[in-house]
Structure 1
Amino acid sequence: MSEAKTLEAVQEVAEAAEVAEVAEVAEVAEVAEVAEVAEVAEVAEVAEVAEVAEVAEVAEVAEVAEVAEVAEVAEVAEVAEVAEEESFKQMFEASLKEHPDVRRGEMIEGMIVGINADAVIMDVGAKNEGSIPLAEFAEAGLELPAVGEMISAMVESAGGTGGVTLSVLAARKRESWGAIEAAVESGEAIDAVITAEVKGGFRVNLNGLTAFMPRSEADTDMHVKSESLIGQPCKVAVLEARRRPENVVVSRKKPMAGQVEVQRAQFFAERAVGDKVTGEVRRMTDFGAFIGLDGVDALLHVSDISWRRIQKPSEMLSTGQRVTVEIVKLNAETGKVSVSMKALQSDPWENVAATYEVGMRLTGTVRRLLDFGAVVELEPGIEGMIHRSEMSWTRSDVKPAQVLSEGDVVDVAVLEVDADARRIRLSLKAVSDNPWQSWLADHSIGSHVTGKIKNITDFGFFVPVGADLDGLVHMENLSWEKHGSEALADYSKGQEVECVVLGVDVEKQRISLGIKQLSGDPFELFLENVKRGDSVNGKVFEMKPSGAVVELAENVHAFLSRREIPREHEELKEGSEIEAKVIEVNRKRRQVELSIRQQLRDEERDAMRNYSQQAAKDSTPSALALELQRKLLGKID
């Protein structure tokens, strides 16, 4: 068999080895046994019969071939094996290009190809897709991307039934940790957003990473309100950062403090008392408001907000409001600044003396109610006081809240103006008719009124006589016959009575009534016919240690002092009939004083006079008669 044919047979054997395995070809080449050649023949079942014969012939030749020829065949087989390995390598590399290898923790960039209710779908190469949870974008502070947009994300997991899971939040956190660690080393502040208030402080978002900020580190102003910080972007300094376990503590106050200190120093260097400045109302208290002025919180006292008197700053100001003020106090050492709004306004009290006069009637607005009166605003910055005694004609101790309410528009009269003391006294009742005068005009002295007893006191009782008007019936004006307390016992609350108007004191606001005056006064009736020096007859009504009470007429009593009773006079007792002389009459006190001694003396004198006159008519008087006449009458002829 020729050498060419031998080579052709070897090539066919090599092709058959490719169909089987490279290892088997190597074994055929190495052992080169006839049995293996036979196997090759089986593989080549489709070969023609002639070719099989040739193969068998070749096999025979191979059995007798020299070792050199067999080696040559093995070398050719090795060449074929190397070619196959190179082809497999190229195919594997092409496969890697079609299916990129993604590993957990790797950062990749891809295009958004879809968005559903739960996730954002991103192309990660070779038509392979990864999903990003939809909620992560909001949590990381990112806007939701649009389809077709290129974004970066971190591989959370790859392979398995879940496919490729990506995370923009983890990517943001990785970036944040780099920024945080750099900030720790450099001491520089980083961007943050305060997201929520938690126990002891605030939750802060650091580009997708959650940090904690203690309340004491939130602001240089310890009174800052939490709600004003939530959602606000800011600069923070990193106080503490640890990856395992994850813990980041930040401070907003630290970077603020440095900036504020610079502004503060500049403020005190450039500003002076009297300067006009504009700032923002930072916070308010009951006594004033604090105005932020370039790193300095200035106090605007409530009394410096307006010439108009206000109780709280909130009546005219609100947090965040911009105001223009004048610096009135400045102390760089203590860092305290006081400002005023009303210093920029004209003083309304400068024209009060020329504008307001006593007796004027004005209209004002009730601004405040106090225990002792009401404050009425007459114009912005000008207020007057209505004392509670000037609120009602009929109720002198009325509570202001029972008559007025804050915000009421009222008519008032000016009672006093003191511009120096910044005081105006007003009256509410002075603009209405005096009910006492009006009542007196309709009820003259001596007229009769009827009413039910309103209440009874120790000294009498009150009877309503008009709207909020009461008249007093003193117990001494109840009865001619009975003493006050005794007569008062005959009356009860609610009893209807008829009274006589005895008097009206408009200034003191009093109406005096009487009941006994409905009938004639027996004392006055008695005195119409009796005067001092007259002799009267009476009956002892009551005996007292100092004398006797004598009834002269019905309901008319006189007093007989014991010294006016002669010793030789018979002893008096209740019911004794007497004749006495009226020696004293006191209409005001309604008293009559009697004397039996004077009565007897006058009777004796009259008897002597009568005797002397009668004797003179009969004859010349005797010596004894003349002596008696001299002694009794004091006459000497």
Structure 2
Amino acid sequence: IRDYDIFVGKTMEFKVVKINQEFKNVVVSHKALIEAELEAQKREIIAKLERGQVLKGVVKNITSYGVFIDLGGVDGLIHITDLSWGRVSHPEEIVKLDQELDVVILDFDDERKRIALGLKQLQPHPWDALNPDLKIGDKVNGKVVVMADYGAFVEIAPGVEGLIHVSEMSWSQHLRSAQDFMKVGDEVEAVILTLDRDERKMSLGIKQLKNDPWDDIEVKYPIGSKHTAKVRNFTNFGVFVEIEEGVDGLIHISDLSWTKKIKHPSEFTQVGADIDVQVLEIDKDNRRLSLGHKQLEENPWDALESVFTVGSIHNGTIIELQDKGGVVALSHGVEGFATPKHLVKEDGTPAKVNEALDFKVIEFNKDNKRIFLSHSRIFEDEAKAEKNEARKAARRQTKKEEQPAAATAVERTTLGDLEELAALKERLSGKK
């Protein structure tokens, strides 16, 4: 009963159900007098019910989950899902209070006195009335009625819905939430992808309204062409980028820079940033481009070969120390590597990170793009040079010291010879 004013001034028969002496209050009930009669009436009505029977009823109450119908002494419930073949947000969209309706009995429970009613069952199923000429590939218009992360349900006719999976919303392989593309209430155009009238299921797509960018990929993005792409995500081995919606590519970590040794792509760029690329290879079957960034510049290692010649000395800063050695930042934006024994300073202490020192090039490998350096080799070579110079000086001194002795010996031998010649001359004169 919603309007109690109808009882004002009306004389009725009541049964006393409770007396409160303290508050001098008496509780009475009219329903208690007719309860037995109502139960008998309900049993009589339910006994005559049959599944599939159509009855007239009046809307007695509306809730969020359904509508209660007065069947003339007994109530039944139309669940919200049985109000219409289409989707219903609230029963008030379909019925009003005190509205008279024809309903069909779906089920009933004699013991619990519950009756399940249906309204939509009095109407033909909309799938049965669907245009028989509708087929796969046709375009249809509809309204988004339900959204989920995996897709959107679109009603193309009352009670006839199709699912647009999120993968069918864009040619892009970067699956996002369906809410990024549409919302409930949107009017959309779509293409029928699958149609099963027996199962009453239909799948739709909206990306098919656009040309697949991979159909003419060789023309639009030929090998060697240069483009600007958007960084989508990283892996340990490279950067995945998107040149346009549906056209993805991979920049291998080795193709990011000619000179820098990059351990992880996040050291070089960031997700969402733009990056210039050059197409290296096209994999049409797997819908993936192989891209490069460093190829946009000339290989500097050809020119660096004449700068970092073996034996040349350059100033560098140690930017990282590892168990195997240290990474040294050199001029021209290149890095070198020195093993621990080549990082020992002249005083015997090891070099530290961020320390700037002179390094000697001991190996230049253009193919592997590696420059091997040594700091200790500088003073070691200087010490060797000084030692060698000292040895040479000692040898020269020894030679100088040996030369006078030889000259004296020559001079002594020459004088002796002169005396012998004089004596010989005297003897010859006497004979005469």
- Normalising by structure 2, we get a TM-score of 0.58
Do residues 461 (structure 1) and 235 (structure 2) align? no
- What's 2:367 paired with? 555
- What's 2:268 paired with? 491
- Report how far residue 435 of structure 1 moved: 4.7
Q: 1:331 to 1:392 in 2, by over 3 A?
A: same
Q: 1:466 to 1:263 in 2, by over 3 A?
A: same
- Report how far residue 434 of structure 1 moved: 3.3
- Report how far residue 556 of structure 1 moved: 7.4
Q: 1:457 to 1:256 in 2, by over 3 A?
A: same
2:151 alignment partner AA: G
Deviations 1:382-416 (A, max 9, x none): 11111122222336432222322211110011111
1:474 alignment partner AA: H
- Report how far residue 257 of structure 1 moved: 2.5
Deviations 1:170-206 (A, max 9, x none): xxxxxxxxxxxxxxxxxxxxxxxxxxxxxxxxxxxxx
- What's 2:224 paired with? 446
- Report how far residue 362 of structure 1 moved: 0.5
Secondary structure at 1:231 match in 2: helix
Do residues 357 (structure 1) and 357 (structure 2) align? no
Secondary structure at 1:416 match in 2: strand
Q: Distance in 1 between matches of 2:76 and 2:102?
A: 12
CA contact (8 A) 2:147 2:184 kept: yes
Q: Distance in 1 between matches of 2:266 and 2:252?
A: 13
- Report how far residue 374 of structure 1 moved: 1.3
- What's 2:393 paired with? none
Q: Distance in 1 between matches of 2:266 and 2:101?
A: 73
2:221 alignment partner AA: H
2:98 alignment partner AA: G
Secondary structure at 1:401 match in 2: helix
Matches within 5 A, 1:96-107: none
Q: 1:263 to 1:451 in 2, by over 3 A?
A: closer
Q: 1:512 to 1:319 in 2, by over 3 A?
A: farther
Secondary structure at 2:243 match in 1: strand
Secondary structure at 2:51 match in 1: coil
Q: 1:390 aligns with which of 168, 173, 193?
A: 168
Deviations 1:225-259 (A, max 9, x none): xxx24434275614167999853422242245245
- What's 2:91 paired with? 313
Q: Distance in 1 between matches of 2:230 and 2:50?
A: 75
Secondary structure at 2:5 match in 1: coil
- What's 2:333 paired with? none
CA contact (8 A) 1:464 1:470 kept: yes
Q: Distance in 1 between matches of 2:274 and 2:107?
A: 72
Q: Distance in 2 between matches of 1:339 and 1:495?
A: 59
- Report how far residue 422 of structure 1 moved: 2.0
Q: 1:374 aligns with which of 152, 171, 176?
A: 152
- What's 1:264 paired with? 42
- What's 2:420 paired with? none
Q: Distance in 2 between matches of 1:507 and 1:279?
A: 63
- Report how far residue 457 of structure 1 moved: 4.3
Deviations 1:106-153 (A, max 9, x none): xxxxxxxxxxxxxxxxxxxxxxxxxxxxxxxxxxxxxxxxxxxxxxxx
CA contact (8 A) 1:352 1:419 kept: no
Do residues 424 (structure 1) and 236 (structure 2) align? no
Aligned-pair identity (%):
33
Secondary structure at 2:14 match in 1: strand
CA contact (8 A) 1:287 1:302 kept: yes
2:126 alignment partner AA: P
- What's 1:475 paired with? 253
CA contact (8 A) 1:353 1:417 kept: no
Deviations 1:554-598 (A, max 9, x none): 5279xxxxxxxxxxxxxxxxxxxxxxxxxxxxxxxxxxxxxxxxx
Matches within 5 A, 1:108-507: 228-233=2-7, 235=12, 237-239=14-16, 247-310=25-88, 312-350=90-128, 352=130, 354-394=132-172, 396-435=174-213, 441-450=219-228, 457-462=235-240, 465-466=243-244, 471-478=249-256, 485=262, 491-493=268-270, 498-504=276-282
Q: 1:342 to 1:487 in 2, by over 3 A?
A: closer
Q: 1:402 to 1:519 in 2, by over 3 A?
A: closer
CA contact (8 A) 2:248 2:287 kept: no
Q: Unmatched 5+ residue regions in structure 2?
A: 301-362, 370-432
CA contact (8 A) 1:477 1:514 kept: yes
Q: Distance in 1 between matches of 2:43 and 2:124?
A: 32
Aligned residues: 305
Over the aligned positions, Cα root-mean-square deviation in angstroms equals 4.2
Q: 1:554 to 1:248 in 2, by over 3 A?
A: closer
CA contact (8 A) 1:236 1:250 kept: no
- Normalising by structure 1, we get a TM-score of 0.41
- Report how far residue 425 of structure 1 moved: 0.9
Deviations 1:525-572 (A, max 9, x none): xxxxxxxxxxxxxxxxxxxxxxxxxx9995279xxxxxxxxxxxxxxx
Q: Distance in 2 between matches of 1:310 and 1:267?
A: 30
Q: 1:371 to 1:229 in 2, by over 3 A?
A: farther
Q: 1:396 to 1:425 in 2, by over 3 A?
A: farther
CA contact (8 A) 1:263 1:294 kept: no
CA contact (8 A) 1:282 1:292 kept: yes
Secondary structure at 1:338 match in 2: strand
CA contact (8 A) 2:234 2:266 kept: no
Q: Counting helix residues as a fraction of each chain, which structure ranks higher?
A: 1
Q: 1:415 to 1:513 in 2, by over 3 A?
A: same
Could you say which structure has the larger radius of gyration?
1
Q: 1:301 to 1:496 in 2, by over 3 A?
A: closer
Matches within 5 A, 1:586-601: none
